[in-house]
Amino acid sequence: MHYLLLIYSNEAEEAAMKPAQMTSVMAEYTEFTKSIIQSGQFKAADRLKPTSAATTVRVRNGKVATTDGPFAETREQLGGYYMVDAKNLDEAIAIAARIPSAKVGSIEVRPIWPSQA
């Protein structure tokens, strides 16, 4: 089963990290990504630019409205994701728990509808 692991953390706190800390977190991410590629669970992953770079698009009554910023102001912001192939929810949870940001933020585990192709 495929799951999307959405990584939420507080951007302001992250921006306040000292460079040495940031380097060590990045190293943890590299290790983690390598390990799930090796295990065959990795499908995709990306790091997103911060919500200050976000734009929200809504089309109502045929009009395209764009606003500066994320779809909603939240205490934690979406910073990245992993798409993984896991046998069941327990396996997906185990992967999510190893994501470095899980220690300071929240990882939402969302099952993906199987493709109807």
Partner 1 sequence: MLATLIRLLGDFDLAEEARQEAFTAAIEQWAWSGVPKNPRAWLISTGRNKVIDRIRREAVFRSKILDREIASAEADAAAVPDDADDDTFGDDRLRLIFTCCHPALSSEAHIALTLREVCGLTTQAVARAFLVSEDTMAQRLVRAKKKIRDAGIPYETPEPPLFNQRIHGVLAVVYGVFTEGYAATTGGQMVDAELCGEAIRLGRLLDELLPNNPAVLGLLALMLLHDARRPARVSQEGDVILLEDQDRSLWDRTRIAEGLELVEQALSISGQVSPYAIQAAIAALHVQALKKKDTDWPQIVGLYEVLLRLQPSPVIELNHAVAVSMVDGAARALDLVDSLAARGEVSEYHLLHAARGHFLQQLGRNDEAREAYGSALTLATLEPERRLLRARIASL
State the number of binding residues for partner 1 (CB under 8 A): 13
Q: How far apart are the first and last CA of the chain?
A: 15
Residue in 34, 9, 36, 6 with CA at minimum distance from that of residue 22: 9
User: Which window, 57-65, 68-76, 86-94, 100-108, contacts partner 1 (CB under 8 A)?
Assistant: 86-94
Which of 92, 95, 99, 107 is close enough to bind partner 1 by CB under 8 A? Answer: 92
Which of 93, 98, 102, 108 is close enough to bind partner 1 by CB under 8 A? Answer: 93
> Does 22 sit near partner 1 (CB under 8 A)?
no
Contact at 8 Å (CB) between 8 and 78? yes
